[in-house]
Amino acid sequence: MAFDDKLILASGSPRRVELLAQVGIEPDRLMPMDLDETPKKSEHPRSLARRLCAEKAEAALTAIKGDPGALGSYILAADTVVAVGRRILPKTEMVDEASSALHLLSGRSHRVFTGICLITPDKKIRQRIVDTKVRFKRLSGLDIENYLASGQWRGKAGGYAIQGIAGSFVVKLVGSYTNVVGLPLQETLSLLSGEGYDIHRRWVEA
């Protein structure tokens, strides 16, 4: 079934694609934006998530200018930031980064902020920030060693993926679970439907 309203997802994250598919939404185009995600000096984690999601959405809007196939599209971007206090944890690419993050998260609470930014077909910009509090159990050396060996930490903010083995580390979660996975579904669908994107027709006609 074809729909008039097109959706461009300014991300290449398989997790975000899977989460949207869970609620019957398949982006018409994936446009991952390769931006410098380095925090600015003294930048708060919430502010970083807000800034990066907006920059990704705006970069995608610039990239589709002059493309007739993209006319009338909604552009959705998101960025997830994991922090302990004001300390922002990186998206881990090296095993020592992941090890450091897991030792820091062990036995304590941290916050996961996801900024979502929607640019509508008439170029309105809408943003939301979703905040989830997560507490890990105290991780043993064996927990960390074998989790690192699993490779599930690679490329993940904070060095873990809650939808995998690391789900067993969580002793308490306050807020949106899908936010920690990478895209808060309730807030995202609310944003889309509030701007005229027909999510319910997709449920019925999927």
Question: E-assigned strands of 18-62?
Answer: 29-30
Polymer length of the chain: 206
CA angle at 153 for the pair 147 and 154, rounded to the nearest 5°:
135
Catalytic residue among 4, 79, 131, 143: 79
For residue 143, indicate whether it is catalytic: no
Phi, psi of 82 (to 5 degrees): -110, 135
The H-or-E segment that residue 125 falls in is: strand 125-136
Distances from the Cα of 174 to the Cα of 23, 79, 109, 124, 125, angstroms: 22, 19, 10, 31, 28
The answer to whether 82 and 162 have CB atoms below 8 angstroms apart is no
* Catalytic residue ranges: 79
